A = this chain, B = another copy of it.
Amino acid sequence: MQKSNSATDYRNELESRGTLPEGFSTGFTGLSFSPAELGADQKMEMNLSLLLLDESTSSFAGTFTKNLFPGAPVLLCRKRLENDSFRGIIINNKIANVCIETGVDDSEKIINTAAEEIGCGPDQLMSSSTGVIGWRLPVSDMIKAVPEAVKAAKDDNHRNAVTLSERIMTTDSFPKLRSRTLAGGRITAVAKGAGMIEPNMATMLCFIMTDLDISREALREMLPGVVAETFNRISVDSDQSTSDMVIAASTNKIACPDIKEFRDALYDVCSELAEDIVRNGEGTSHVIRVCVDGAASVEDACAIGKALVNSPLVKTAVAGNDPNVGRFASSIGDYCGNNGINLPAEKMEMKLGGEIIFSGGVFRMTPDKELRLVAYLKDCGTIPEHKGWPVHEKTVNIDINIGMGNSQSIILGSDLTHEYVRENADYRT
């Protein structure tokens, strides 16, 4: 991850990454509204963003949350994936449009207005919403605002994705944008998300744009695997949202030299965005990087890594720079003991910051090691302030070999700080 020393540095860095691939444009507007569930005296501001392709494409793909109560946009996008043709996606923050009587209708009304303004079929457009679950979208206010977003996208001369990365934010503390170039073409992707994050299919919201020529079939075969290896291996707070989606589309304008190279570039972009999301997690001070090796399967390795990074006692110990290694081992023993993984304790080796803390069935701590590990944890964390850019690129490295096989997985998680509680005890006010 790149290190920036100021919001200006970081913004410059994003600008250099953010060039839109050929054939994409973005447009934005804002609106003021009162959530029906709170009453007319409560005012909020919503961003409306449009990601538009100059021409329709059949090369598009998507993955979505497995949450059983998905938002209306997820229901709608899943259906749109069956269509032959995609032209763009309209995105709002503040309200997620989940389990509302009129939810799908509301999203369709907004899409219909946008389609009319763009001059395309409503079936060619998707929508995406994040924010409070359980509130209704301010549909009429949004419909009034749509034409301005469409006009802005049509007039887009900037052709840079930085504004998109900023306008889709909710509790995010900094925008997340990554890109790779390949043979004159590029993959540019933005993501949002900071809380309610343990994706298990797709992340929060991620929009991947490319001009590299890739078929619909290849993209659809590739995307779930890349998502499984990147966004599905992070956790901020073990909650999978109702609205998670990754949408990818290509304008196919630039010849793609090699499908393997394309996949590698896509993996890099998604992997970096996944780390950005954890680093920007609500209240995150330490990013925890758990490498589980020697597992019987990748699934086991992922599950054990997630059990560790999701343990509140591990998360708070790391937040407090406390190498309370007993909690690390206990969280693994808890998961394995309750899920039929018969891990023999004497085969497990665990390292923190490269130092062995557990091997041969027993803990390996000494007063000197304790002091070194406290210093290591202190060095890997910062008091999280919403500076608008990632303030460090360090990770707390926990390496575990469980001696049961040859499968491996790397899971990223975050610590649990007062700032997380502060943000989430009063999220909506």
Range of interface residues on chain A?
Answer: 35 or more
Provided the pairs A333-B69, A367-B37 are in contact, do residues A322 and B428 lie with their beta carbons within 8 angstroms? yes
A-B contact pairs, 14 of them (CB 8 A): A37-B366, A37-B367, A66-B338, A67-B330, A103-B362, A133-B325, A134-B324, A135-B365, A238-B310, A239-B312, A239-B331, A316-B420, A320-B425, A320-B427
1/0 contact string of A395-429 vs chain B (CB within 8 Å): 00000000000000000000011101110111111
A428 contacts which of B133, B240, B324, B416 (Cβ < 8 Å)?
Answer: B324
Q: Which of A64-84 contact B (CB under 8 A)?
A: 65-70
User: Are the C-beta atoms of A240 and B365 separated by less than 8 Å?
Assistant: no
User: Are the C-beta atoms of A132 and B326 separated by less than 8 Å?
Assistant: yes
For A333, the chain B residues whose CB sits under 8 A away are 67-70, 242
A65–B310 alpha-carbon span in the complex (Å): 20
1/0 contact string of A105-132 vs chain B (CB within 8 Å): 0000000000000000000000000001
Binding stretch for chain B, among A10-18, A93-101, A214-222, A245-253: A93-101
A320–B427 alpha-carbon span in the complex (Å): 9
Measured CB to CB, the nearest residue on chain B to A338 is: B66
- A195 an interface residue at 8 Å Cβ cutoff? yes
User: Are the C-beta atoms of A134 and B329 separated by less than 8 Å?
Assistant: yes
For A332, the chain B residues whose CB sits under 8 A away are 68-69
Top 9 A-B residue pairs of the complex, sorted by shortest distance between their CB atoms? A133-B326, A320-B425, A69-B333, A134-B326, A316-B424, A39-B367, A68-B337, A68-B333, A134-B363
- A370 an interface residue at 8 Å Cβ cutoff? yes
Provided the pairs A337-B66, A338-B200 are in contact, do residues A365 and B319 lie with their beta carbons within 8 angstroms? no
Known interface pairs A316-B425, A416-B421; 17 further A-B residue pairs with C-beta atoms within 8 A, sorted by A's residue number: A38-B370, A65-B337, A67-B337, A68-B333, A68-B337, A69-B345, A99-B326, A103-B362, A134-B363, A196-B330, A239-B312, A240-B334, A240-B337, A312-B424, A322-B429, A418-B418, A421-B421
For A358, the chain B residues whose CB sits under 8 A away are 99, 134
For A134, the chain B residues whose CB sits under 8 A away are 324-326, 329, 358, 363, 365
Q: Which of A108-165 contact B (CB under 8 A)?
A: 132-135
A37–B416 alpha-carbon span in the complex (Å): 25
User: Are the C-beta atoms of A313 and B196 separated by less than 8 Å?
Assistant: yes
For A429, the chain B residues whose CB sits under 8 A away are 322
Measured CB to CB, the nearest residue on chain B to A363 is: B134
User: Are the C-beta atoms of A329 and B99 separated by less than 8 Å?
Assistant: yes
- A361 an interface residue at 8 Å Cβ cutoff? yes
User: Are the C-beta atoms of B421 and A319 separated by less than 8 Å?
Assistant: yes
A427–B358 alpha-carbon span in the complex (Å): 20
User: Are the C-beta atoms of B242 and A425 separated by less than 8 Å?
Assistant: no
**Could you tell me the distance in whole angstroms from the C-beta of A94 to the nearest C-beta in chain B?**
13
- A311 an interface residue at 8 Å Cβ cutoff? yes
- A298 an interface residue at 8 Å Cβ cutoff? no
A418 contacts which of B133, B196, B343, B421 (Cβ < 8 Å)?
Answer: B421
- A230 an interface residue at 8 Å Cβ cutoff? no
**Could you tell me the distance in whole angstroms from the C-beta of A41 to the nearest C-beta in chain B?**
9
**Could you tell me the distance in whole angstroms from the C-beta of A354 to the nearest C-beta in chain B?**
18
A292–B27 alpha-carbon span in the complex (Å): 46
Measured CB to CB, the nearest residue on chain B to A331 is: B239
User: Are the C-beta atoms of B313 and A239 separated by less than 8 Å?
Assistant: yes
A138–B80 alpha-carbon span in the complex (Å): 66
User: Are the C-beta atoms of A418 and B422 separated by less than 8 Å?
Assistant: yes
